Amino acid sequence: MLRTHIIFCLTALSLALTAQPLTAQSRDRAASDDSGHAMPELPELPDSASPADAEEEVPEVEEDEIVETVRLGGEDANQGVGGVDQADSYEESVGDDEDDSPTRVDVTPTTSETEEYVPLQDDMKADDPSVQDPSRVTYARTRRNARTMSLAVPGPRGIISDRNGLVMACSEVAYQPSVNFGQLEDESDAHILSIAREVIAAYEKLGLAVYEKTDEQLLDHYRNRRWLPLPVAPTVRAGEIRKIRKELEALPYGYLMPLYIRNYPNRESACHILGYTGAQAKLPTGPINHNDPIFQRQEGRSGLEQRFNKQLTGRPGIWRLMFDESGRKILDELQTRPKPGGTVVTTLNMEWQKAAEKALRENTLGRGAFVMVDVHTGEILVLASTPNFDPNAFIPSISQEDYDALRNDASNPLVSRAFAGVYPPASTFKTVTVAAALRHHIITEDTYINCPYSVRIGGHEFRNHSHFSGSINCVTALVTSNNPFMYLTAAVLTPHIGAHRLCEMARRLGYGKTTGIPLPDKAGIVPDEAWMHRNYGRGFMSGDEANMAIGQGPLLATPLQVAHAISGIANGQYLPKLQLIRQVLDADGNVVYQFTPTEQSNLRDMARAFATVRRGMTEVVAGGTGRRAKLSYVQNAGKTGTAQWGRPSDDCRLAWFAGFLPADNPRYAYAALYEGKPHQRIGGGASAGTIVKVFFESIAGSMKEELAKEREDIAVDGQKPLTPEEEAELQAQAEEEARSAEEAQYEQQARERRQSTEGWSEGRERH
């Protein structure tokens, strides 16, 4: 469907390329891009999201002597693709303003060819003395010194869609009010200026913003480029043009230049993922040169638009002009049709994405994030952040004033909190602490530790904010979010986890590194000794271990990383590599990239530890701190978190809720973040838990359908999942290997300590 939509747009654009005055017969003509208003310089993204290579160059067409050219016409000259009458194709291509139905594209993996484009006929005008009757084949025989040149017709950018084919970004035909000097020859400067000023004044009277054009600019265009329309106002979308079409049609020497612009039909939704486009360069002035563009090329400036700029950029067409020895235009035709760019299919589910954004808007003060991933494949289904912005505001350009307003907004709408905001993971990190304690045999599920109201470590008193004390095991510690249990296992008990093993476990679950998605995500912080020395001038201390055990201290993570870590715990065998792109197709429909599930970390030695953590997370929702996130149709599991962050004087808090569902057979992992304002009292269970409940209840219908589907075995790295027997055997083997390696490490450390002590004693005796 969308491919046909693009063909219609190509048809409408191609038929209008030859500039003519606006008349009733040329009502479907349109406008060039806005020269004169350059895109403001935008902040550069990290190298990981740098723009792709420049688009493909238009083939050079050598100057030559044309002996004979053929122009085809006839009763079918108005017929386009599939026999669709071109008088109707414009209306079909832009649709009605009231039609909000989402456009979908077939995203089924395919390598088949797309339908061939039917060559378009040149648009002819009877009163043009250089063109004969279009109802028959005519020949333009040129003189010996006739010359030709070609101009580039930028192709439309390709489509970005969600996993179900819902279009997230596409190209549409828009119009740019212009002045047409094409039929004026040997006119006086005064007459040319009078015509141009009259057209510009008429546009302004109709409510259109107009560019400031000097007399010299107007005359320069007439002398050097009069065969091309002169843009004098910003691009106008089709819906706005309809409102003033009759007035425009009656305007002599006015012309609406058709061009492709980007459209984001879902407006603010997924804006940080999509990014936006901008003009590559201003339109050239002065004499016409080979390969000059008819209108401005667009390039990706941020997000997927930037990262996949090369794949999305359309292939330019060629518009050929021929002039006789006196400079009179005798041929004007579209020689090569522009071709749309490729298609990028994301892993997102836009229904769920919009539901998450709505839940964030209605249950926060405008600042938050929600992420959901598939625990088996690593596909990202939701990557939501608020506040956000409408990328259509950047199309075709944004004023410096409007851009500064976005950039200087204290709520940072241009930044995605989901993948570019870093925060203390707070008590959601206790899942990592418990897993590390179980893995390194500091505790078992049956180990009970007396947890007082506060614990004194390194001269500082660490309190229990859950107001619970007594002898508890790790499951109860998760259910009640008990801090002293974490302090003791991480920094006090003999043996205890220690900073190195705690940070090692965090890294195995994806903390402290970028995720590899094609967006400028942040790595967060998981410190090591070198980092501590660089930033604090010392190594780890017991107070650092206690702080990190509850997700505070130097630890920082994005909501995407928190959800990713939970996916590894929920999976129990491996940490899946995160995926945001499901498929990329070229302009011909051939698959150039196909998503394959990949294992990022082998976690099979953690299976038993993670099973205990999952049990604790299930009880958190059943009757612990996360009970407000309990769902009506599926058993949920999760962990709450509340953290202090920012400057102490701001007194800002964060509320977290991270988990997975179904609790007994995990399919999806998620993380919700509520970023509080100064002095705002929020908590993980009450604030972030409410976001979770509202979101999942709002998608209950589609979620139940997904959970009811029988899932095929997922091959990760080309290998099928293990059978229960194979899993148990490998788990036991992995645990034995890990235990042996740990014992060897302890023995090595003991030898080093003995050698160090002996060396010190010998030195003292010699002294």
465 and 604 fall within a common domain: yes
444 and 340 fall within a common domain: no
Reply yes or no on whether the pLDDT at 229 is more than 70: yes
Quick one: pLDDT at residue 3? 45
Handedness of CA 10, 12, 14, 19 (dihedral sign): negative
Check: CB of residue 275 under 8 Å from CB of residue 303. yes
Burial 57-96 (b: 16+ CB within 10 A, else e): ebeebeeeebeebebebeeeeebbbeebebeebbeebbee
Region 276-296: mean pLDDT is: 83
> Which is more confident, 558 or 75?
558
338 and 308 fall within a common domain: yes
Please check whether residue 340 lies inside any domain of the structure.
Answer: yes
Tell how strand 159-161 and strand 343-346 pair up.
parallel
Reply yes or no on whether the pLDDT at 127 is more than 90: no
Region 80-98: mean pLDDT is: 32
How far apart (Å, rounded) are the C-alpha atoms in residues 556 and 545? Answer: 14
Reply yes or no on whether the pLDDT at 365 is more than 50: yes
CA angle 317, 177, 153 (to 5 degrees): 5
CATH number at residue 331: 3.90.1310.10
Please check whether residue 42 lies inside any domain of the structure.
Answer: yes
pLDDT for 443-485, tens place per residue?
Answer: 999 999 999 888 999 888 888 876 667 899 999 999 999 999 9
Of the listed ranges 317-326, 421-430, 499-508, the least confidently predicted one is: 317-326
pLDDT for 704-733, tens place per residue?
Answer: 999 998 776 566 765 666 555 666 666 666
Q: Which of 4-8, 112-116, 401-405 has the highest mean pLDDT?
A: 401-405
Q: Which residues, 6 or more positions from 731, have their beta carbon under 8 angstroms from its beta carbon? A: 604, 605, 607, 608
Helix, strand, or coil (residue 207) = coil
Check: CB of residue 612 under 8 Å from CB of residue 478. no
Check: CB of residue 510 under 8 Å from CB of residue 671. no
Q: Which of 643, 607, 639 is nearest to 722 (CA)?
A: 607
354 and 220 fall within a common domain: no
Phi and psi, residue 79, nearest 5°: -85, 140
Q: Which of 312, 42, 34, 351 is nearest to 171 (CA)?
A: 312
Region 563-585: mean pLDDT is: 97
Q: Which residue has the tokens 């002293």?
A: 484
Reply yes or no on whether the pLDDT at 89 is more than 60: no
Helix, strand, or coil (residue 195) = helix
Please check whether residue 105 lies inside any domain of the structure.
Answer: no
Longest dimension (CA), the chain: 114
533 and 562 fall within a common domain: yes
DSSP-assigned letters across all residues of 65-112:
----EEE--STTTTB-GGG-BHHHHHHHHH--TT--PPPB---S---P
522 and 590 fall within a common domain: yes
Region 314-327: mean pLDDT is: 82
**Chain centroid offset of residue 457 CA:** 44
> Which is more confident, 225 or 264?
264
Please check whether residue 402 lies inside any domain of the structure.
Answer: no
Please check whether residue 659 lies inside any domain of the structure.
Answer: yes
How far apart (Å, rounded) are the C-alpha atoms in residues 219 and 117? Answer: 39
Mean of the per-residue pLDDT values of the chain? 79
CATH number at residue 662: 3.40.710.10
Q: Which of 118, 107, 81, 85 is nearest to 4 (CA)?
A: 81
How far apart (Å, rounded) are the C-alpha atoms in residues 658 and 563? Answer: 7
Secondary structure string (H, E, C) spanning 458-471: CCEEEECCCCCCEE
211 and 174 fall within a common domain: yes
248 and 373 fall within a common domain: no
- Domains identified in the chain, total number: 3
Check: CB of residue 414 under 8 Å from CB of residue 517. no
Check: CB of residue 389 under 8 Å from CB of residue 413. yes
Please check whether residue 409 lies inside any domain of the structure.
Answer: no
Q: Using 50, 70 and 90 to split pLDDT, how confident is the model at 244?
A: confident
Strand partners, 658: 639, 671
Secondary structure string (H, E, C) spanning 605-651: HHHHHHHHHHHHHHHHHHHCCCHHHCCCCCCCEEEEEEEEECCHHHC
Region 226-249: mean pLDDT is: 86
Structural domain that includes position 559:
350-391+419-721
Please check whether residue 360 lies inside any domain of the structure.
Answer: yes
pLDDT for 659-688, tens place per residue?
Answer: 999 999 999 999 999 998 888 888 878 899
Which two structure tokens, joined as six digits, stand for 672? 């919700």
56 and 183 fall within a common domain: yes
Please check whether residue 109 lies inside any domain of the structure.
Answer: no
